Each structure stands twice: as C-alpha cells, then as structure tokens.
Structure 1
Amino acid sequence: MSDVTARVADATGNWVDTHAPSWSRPYLRLARFDRPIGSWLLLMPCWWSAALAAGIAHDVRSLPSVILLFFIGAFAMRGAGCTWNDITDRDLDAMVERTRSRPIPAGQVTVPRALAFMVLLALVGLAVLLQFNRFAVATGIASLLIVAIYPFMKRITWWPQVVLGLAFSWGALMGFAVMLGRIDLTALVLYAGAIAWVIGYDTIYAHQDAEDDALIGVKSTARLFGARTHRALAVFYALATVLIGVALALAGVRWPGWLGLAAFAIHLVWQIRRLDIADSVLCLRVFKSNRDAGLLLFAGLLVDAALR
C-alpha cells in the first residue's frame, strides 16, 4: 500500500504524512498525533482547573510544571484512548467512509501490535501521573473505567456523548486534585460545565458520520437531534457557560477570569451561528475551533491566577 493511500481520510497534509519515518506513521495515526485536536480538547479542562485551583491557593509556583505535565499526559492518554477505540471499533470503522482508512481496518497495524502500542502510551501517562500526590494518582486511575466503556456506548444509547463528556472533562477534577489535594464543589461544578461543553462539540463532530451511522445502526446525539441540533447546542453551550461561571464565582475569580469566560461564550455563539450540519467539512472546522474557545478561557484564568 502506498503512503498516499495509507493516509487517514480526514488527516492529510500534516507532519506525520510529510516528516515522520514511514515505519512510525501507522502508529502515530493510531494515536491521532496527525490530528491532535482531541488531545487539545482533553487538555483544556485540565488547564482550566489547574489555573483555577492555583488562584484559589494564591500560589502559582508549581503551575508551570503542572501545565507541562498535563500537556504530556493528555497527549499520551488521548493516544491510548484512541487506540483502544480503534481496536473495539475496527469492524464499524471498516463500514464508514471517513474511518475505513484508519490503520487497523486498513490493515496497516495488527490488533496485537495496537494493544502493545496502547500499553506503551498508557505507561507514559502513568509516569506523568506518578509525579503528583497520592490523591491525584487515585483520581486519575479512577477515570480509566469511563475510558474503557466509552467505545461501546454508541451501540446501546443515543447519548454516547455524555459518556465521552464524563471522560474528556475529568481534567476539571484533576487540577484540583493535583494543586489542592481535594475535589470540592467548585471542581464538581466546573466538571459539570465541561461535560455540557463536550456534549455540544462532539455532537457537531458526529454530524460528519450521521448518514453512515444511520446505515450501520450507530447511535449519537447528532442523529438524535437532527434538524434540532442548533437548538440543542444553544442549550448545552448555555449550560456550559452558566456552570463554568458558577465555578468561577465559587472560586472568587477577578475580572480576567470573567473576561476569559465571556470570550469563551462569544466563541460558542459564533459556532452555533456558523454551523451547517449538512456540510461535513464545515462541521469538522467548527468542531476544531473549540480548542480556541478553551484557550480563551484558560488565558483568562491564567492571568487571574497570576494576579491573585
């Protein structure tokens, strides 16, 4: 198979395709290092909570190292999670136009090798986790159950995005566990807000595959909401903004944090207005823009922590 045909359908022209050694490309694609948006979205709640907790503690001395460790851990664990997802979904992926070129259904990586690669990435994540306190280690390990069951949810519920939200928002708890050694009401409300955000943006993402999903019987909120998607997004994005705002109020943030939340909310409104669920290319573009939304909020919380 030539390298051109080996490329994943929605991830061409990236550094993996152009610069990575040929032997490594299927594994880098398996971990989505050619499409890092998922890792960024996993990272955002981690960074939000770390900055918020540092502000509460009035101590930012450890924040730079925590930010770096979260960055490494998010990319490693996102890679492990994607590999697990591709192992469990290999038969379904082979039936969907956008995913049939993924390494396992395309025959580029065998299941045993994919499992070994997943273990390697998980060990990197564990090495990062062990840099933190015992409570944070236990909190991080607790998330693995949700990660393990997520790939099966699309077979049994119309709301797999909720389970993805539980997994992808876990970082909202981790920042408090690492920085403060506890999970309090502020962390839980931030977690709830992040879950609502995830449900929204993953609904946009799922619209890329809605037609194929209908043919093979895969469930999603994209199929559930259908033509009502814009209204559903308005509800979930509004809920995310309100809940995150409550968390900021409980944490006593100052004007930079609120400015970051306002920029985040404006970006979410732009997404709803821009979205056309019939345009899969646009759906992917709007979905990816959530990294920018998350960074806007993080920037506000980071400045707030530094000022406090």
Structure 2
Amino acid sequence: MSNLSDDNGRVFDAPSDNFVYRLLPPGLWPYAQLARWDRPIGWQLLMWPCFWSAAMAAAVTAEANAFRPGQFIAHLFLFWIGAVAMRGAGCTYNDLVDHEIDSKVARTRSRPLPSGRVTRRQAKIFILLQALTGLVVLLCFNLFTIVLAIASLAIVALYPFAKRFTDWPQFVLGLAFSWGALVGWSAVFGSLSAPALLVYVAAVLWTIGYDTIYAHQDKEDDALIGVRSTARLFGDNTLPFLIFFYGAMLALMAVAFHLAGLGWPAFAGLVGGGGILAWQLVVLDINDGDQCKRLFLANHPVGMAIFAGLVVAIFLG
C-alpha cells in the first residue's frame, strides 16, 4: 500500500502508546484503528447508557427483593462486549462513508482507509465480523430487546450522512449512542417504561454536549469542505447551549431516578457526574483544540460516577 501514515503506522489523533501497538502484530494495527480500539473513549461512551439503565433496573428489582446478581453481572459483560463490537463496526462503516472527506481533514487523513493501508473490501469484511459478534451478544437477550436493538441500526446507518444534510449530526449520533439506555432496561423487564425513556433522552442531550465540544477540533477544516456540525452552528455561543444540554440531562436523570424509586446513592452519583460536567463548562475554550479533546475524554468519568452511584443504590437503597 502507499501513502503510509506517520509514526510507523499509527494515526495522528490516537495515542501512540496504546495497548494495540504493544500486543497486536503490525499487520493488525489498521483494523484496530478502524475499530478505534486504540481510542476506547468511544465504546466507553456507548457503554455507559447501557450500564446506567441496567443498574437502574437492578436497583428497582432489589427494592422488590427480586435482584439477581448473576444476571446483572452477565448483562454488564454482554453490554461491554456489544459496545466494543458495535462501536467498532460503526466506526468502520463511518470511515467507509467518509473516505473522501477524511482524506481532506488534517486530523483524519492518516486513518487506514485514506492512508491506503486497508482496502474498502477489507474494511467491509471487517464490519461483517464485528456485526456478527454483536449479533451473538444480542441473541443472549429476550425477544423484545433483540427487536429493540435491531431497530437502532436504521439510525446507525443514517449517522455518517447526517453531517451532509443537517447542522445537527450530533443529535443523530445521540439517538444512536444512547440506545443502550433502552436496551439495559428492557433486558431485565422485557418492556420499556418512563425511567428508561427519560434516561434515553438525557443521554441524547449528554451526547450532543460532549460531541459538540469534540467537533470544535475540526471546525476550520469542516467549514472548508462543507461538513456541518453543532460546533459550527453554535460558534461563539456554544457555552449557553452546553449549559442547557448538560443541565437538562441531569434534571431528566434525576426525574428518572425518582420515578424508579431509587435511593440517595443514585442521586449522589448524579451530583458527582454533574460536578465533572460543570468543571468542563467553567474551563472550556472552544478555540483550543487540544483542550476540547481533553474535555471530551473527561466524559468517561462522568459515566463512571453516575454508574457507581447506581450500583451503591442497588445494595443500600
């Protein structure tokens, strides 16, 4: 292949000390990069709504003296595997769709497809393998959950094209990335109810917020090639929008926890996550691309804090 990326086959916008480069042979690096295994933040952010919903459902069953620890642990494991597999498949699909765009953006032109280290046919086969892994995970759940998860694929398929026809591609991403908030609940109850729906909407707002911050890294290149985003739409008024998105997210989560009858630890975890979000807003500089990336990454501990509170609520009420 020609046009190899810099740094011995690594990509520009990923850490060069990731386990991918220590454990995998160089021949597999391009596939790990397509799946973003060297950037775990994506599957982590996809995973947290699943974990929140699963833990919230488990806390509800604990209140009814029907908590099944084995089921809870198994669901968390399956959601983790599913998040890694489906996020990887989604990223590979996104790279196929955005092949030409990525070749024109400084941050993305070193990725496997635009740099020529992987062919489009190889990428399509890799998508299939990851999707089959996700299917195996999905078949472990009840029929309602299987159908519900399959329904999300329409949004996943639409997302890579959203930046071409709307200023709100982050909203479309949120619809897809937050689906686990529905699946985590339905995997326990075989149906949906208000707490799960509220957590889903909250997660959509959270996604719009953190991905708007992320998109500020590329706003100059995006403007040149005509890619649309909420970062470009909001511009210098980004902060008030983020205050709304994050504030509404926390409020909806609190209402969901109340409707589910959760105890004080769940709300304590929400306060902890909210504190990290507030810190992001205080220090945000939308013209500092490196800082925008760091603040985007800081949403992993947000998810962790909220989940920790929910887990404690299972046992303490």
TM-score when normalising by structure 1? 0.98
Counting matched residue pairs gives: 308
Q: For residues 240-286 of structure 1, what are the alpha-carbon distances to aligned partners after superposition, in whole Å with 9 as ceiling and x for unaligned?
A: 00111111111011010010010011111001112111111111010
Letter of the structure 2 residue corresponding to residue 291 of structure 1: H
**Which residue does 1:51 correspond to in 2?**
55
1:20, CA displacement in angstroms?
1.6
**Which residue does 2:108 correspond to in 1?**
99
Q: Does 1:6 align with 2:15?
A: no
Contact 1:258 1:300 in 2 (8 A): yes
Q: Secondary structure at the match of 1:155?
A: helix
**Which residue does 2:286 correspond to in 1?**
277
Letter of the structure 2 residue corresponding to residue 23 of structure 1: G
> Residue 25 of structure 1: which of 18, 29, 37 is its match?
29
Contact 1:60 1:306 in 2 (8 A): no
Letter of the structure 1 residue corresponding to residue 100 of structure 2: D
Distance 1:99 1:133 in 2: 39
Are residues 192 and 109 of structure 1, via their aligned partners in 2, closer, same or farther at CA, if it must alter by over 3 Å? same
Q: Secondary structure at the match of 1:208?
A: coil
5 Å-filtered alignment, 1:241-260, equals 241-260=250-269
**Which residue does 2:175 correspond to in 1?**
166
Which consecutive segments of 4 or more residues in structure 1 shift more than 6 A? none
Q: Does 1:179 align with 2:188?
A: yes
Q: Does 1:147 align with 2:156?
A: yes
1:219, CA displacement in angstroms?
0.3
Letter of the structure 2 residue corresponding to residue 49 of structure 1: S
Contact 2:5 2:11 in 1 (8 A): no
Distance 1:2 1:228 in 2: 36
1:307, CA displacement in angstroms?
2.7
Q: Secondary structure at the match of 1:154?
A: helix
1:125, CA displacement in angstroms?
0.5
**Which residue does 2:76 correspond to in 1?**
67
Letter of the structure 2 residue corresponding to residue 38 of structure 1: G
Contact 1:46 1:172 in 2 (8 A): yes
Contact 2:6 2:110 in 1 (8 A): no
Q: For residues 183-230 of structure 1, what are the alpha-carbon distances to aligned partners after superposition, in whole Å with 9 as ceiling and x for unaligned?
A: 111111110011000000000010010000000000000001111111
1:14, CA displacement in angstroms?
1.4
Distance 1:54 1:2 in 2: 46
1:5, CA displacement in angstroms?
4.5
Segment drifting more, 270-279 vs 117-126: 270-279
Distance 1:307 1:120 in 2: 41
Are residues 266 and 2 of structure 1, via their aligned partners in 2, closer, same or farther at CA, if it must alter by over 3 Å? closer
1:78, CA displacement in angstroms?
0.2
Percent of aligned pairs sharing the same letter: 53
1:60, CA displacement in angstroms?
3.7
Q: For residues 131-172 of structure 1, what are the alpha-carbon distances to aligned partners after superposition, in whole Å with 9 as ceiling and x for unaligned?
A: 111111111111101000000000000001000000000000
1:18, CA displacement in angstroms?
3.3
Q: Does 1:234 align with 2:238?
A: no
Distance 2:158 2:313 in 1: 37
> Residue 309 of structure 2: which of 291, 297, 300 is its match?
300
Letter of the structure 2 residue corresponding to residue 76 of structure 1: A
Structure 2 unaligned runs (5+)? none
Distance 1:30 1:136 in 2: 28
Are residues 156 and 50 of structure 1, via their aligned partners in 2, closer, same or farther at CA, if it must alter by over 3 Å? same
Letter of the structure 1 residue corresponding to residue 236 of structure 2: A
